[in-house]
Amino acid sequence: MNDFIETELKYWYVPLILGILFIGLGILVFATPEATFLTIAVLFSIGFVVSGIVEVMFSLSNRGILKNWGWHLVGGIITLILGILLSLKPDFSALVLSLYIGFWLLFRSIVYTSSAFELKSVGIKNWGWMFAFGIIGIIFSFILLWNPLLIGIGFVFWIGYGLIILGIINIILGFSIRRFKKDAEEFIDGMEDQTNRS
């Protein structure tokens, strides 16, 4: 059996929870565009600390199952560190916040883009959506990093778009893992039934 995902994959719903969290943060950014950078930084710090901890736990609990568990671990650690930095110094300027979010979004999008090919290798059909949203995430991260001062007040919206894209990617990943796990369990049950009959 392919070593990317096995039937005992644990906590498939973690990417789903992270996706909902990222989408929630993105919607919050759109709902309160007039909020100060301090408010945005505080919200991000809470969201990033929670998602970092959850992703670290997910990657460690599946380290013998996921082929790229190390990248998810690194992503969780980076997210956690970013959340801690934002909570320790929430009065970052728009430039610094934009650069932090831009680099974080770039790293996450690259990881998810490469994960799409692993999903393809195990026969998951909607890997293309994950790849496409990963590419869009990379584009948004370059927009944030290219010239954050030029973006000005609009940087809040770019961050919101980026968070929503990451949320969608995580939701696709969660449901893809769940579907693959279910298919693999049905296949194994079918093989056991054939063995018992013969």
DSSP state of 173: H
**Amino acid 3: pLDDT:** 44
Report d(CA 166, CA 132) in Å as an integer: 11
**Residue-range domain boundaries for the chain:** 13-186
* More reliable by pLDDT, 4 or 163: 163
- Residue 73 reports pLDDT greater than 80: yes
Buried b (16+ CB within 10 A) or exposed e, 81-101: ebbebbeeebebebebbbebb
The residue with tokens 């309160």 is 32
DSSP state of 3: S
* More reliable by pLDDT, 10 or 175: 175
Q: Which residue stretches of the chain are H helix?
A: 13-31, 37-61, 69-88, 94-121, 127-146, 148-151, 155-197
Report d(CA 72, CA 58) in Å as an integer: 8
* More reliable by pLDDT, 157 or 192: 157
The structure tokens listed for 28 are 């919050």
State the pLDDT confidence band at 4, using cuts at 50, 70 and 90.
Answer: very low
Amino acid at 96: V
**Amino acid 9: pLDDT:** 55
Report d(CA 5, CA 12) in Å as an integer: 11
Looking at the domain 13-186, which fold is it? 1.25.40
- Residue 7 reports pLDDT greater than 50: no
